[in-house]
Amino acid sequence: MTFSDQVISKLLTAQRVAVLTGAGISAESGVPTFRGKDGLWGRFKAEELANPDAFLRNPQLVWEWYEFRRKIIRNVRPNPAHLTLVEMEKHFPHFSLCTQNVDNLHFKAGNRNICELHGNILRNKCSGCGKKYGDLELLPGCSVPRCHCGDLIRPDVVWFGEMLAKEALELASYEAEHADVLLSIGTSAVVYPAAMLPIQAKRSGAFVIEINLERTAISHQVDASLQGKSGEILPALWSAVLAKKEARV
């Protein structure tokens, strides 16, 4: 796998690197994506169940869908793409990782400077008072758990139609707008406001590299669009950058 001199040199000289990841980076770990070829969580479209109205209408069904996803996510492991981001975080003077994913795989891999734009499926919160809860299991036949205040507990994720946490979005925007290089990895770039981040970076002068299995809504706007599996491309790209750095010494 070869990479242009420009892509290599941009990463070689970058001081501030921002990364945006989507479901595609976790696909090779066995986590289904939402919209790609192999996408869809079971027979449901994310937009149908990942929204407050669906929860109001049928909290049991929403909980069962999340339980189905949690069972997969509790047992998956980070793949080489996640592990490469851990190495990159150690290397760059300033490295930020913003993820749309709720699968906890960046934390499991070892990244620590993580901005979870859409929350985390292994955390819960009260739908009324907002009290935070950790990972909970809905045992078969049991009803949706309730908070001490009496309201229903729900997954601590951002649903469609819900605002992202203000501080998370502000941090992600700041990092995108101050990055020398932004890497957009495994996202179809159709969900806003996260999909704005690569464009914000580009407008602010960053060199934007996309790594994705197929072309996306932003492929025509980025500086380099590398098509293929992130678990193969990202480790190869990082090795090429380190080899170039070695050769310079």
Choice from 30, 135, 214, 245 touching ligand BV8 (CB under 6 A): 214
The pair of three-digit structure tokens given for residue 232, joined into one six-digit string: 């193969």
Name residues whose C-beta falls within 8 Å of residue 140's C-beta, 6 or more positions apart in sequence: none
Binding track, positions 150-169, relative to Zn ion; x by CB under 5 A = -x------------------
Question: SS3 for 36-78, per residue?
Answer: CCCCCECCECHHHHCCHHHHHHCHHHHHHHHHHHHHHHHCCCC
Instruction: Write down the least CB distance from residue 2 to ligand BV8, Å.
Output: 18
36 binding ligand BV8? (CB under 6 A): yes
Would you call 4 helix, strand, or coil by DSSP? coil
For helices 230-248 and 5-13, what crossing angle results, to 10°?
Answer: 70
Would you call 6 helix, strand, or coil by DSSP? helix
Stretch of 28-36, 98-106, 124-132, 213-221 contacting Zn ion, by CB under 5 A: 124-132
Choice from 18, 31, 34, 156 touching ligand BV8 (CB under 6 A): 34
The pair of three-digit structure tokens given for residue 207, joined into one six-digit string: 């060199």
| Catalytic one of 94, 106, 118, 220 | 118
Q: How many positions of this chain bind ligand BV8 (CB under 6 A)? A: 38
Choice from 56, 129, 142, 190 touching Zn ion (CB under 5 A): 129
Instruction: Write down the least CB distance from residue 84 to ligand BV8, Å.
Output: 12
* CB closer to ligand BV8 out of 12 and 145: 145
Instruction: Write down the least CB distance from residue 131 to Zn ion, Å.
Output: 5
Residue 82 annotated to the active site: no
How far apart are alpha carbons 125 and 119 in whole angstroms? 11
Q: Active-site residues: which are they? A: 118
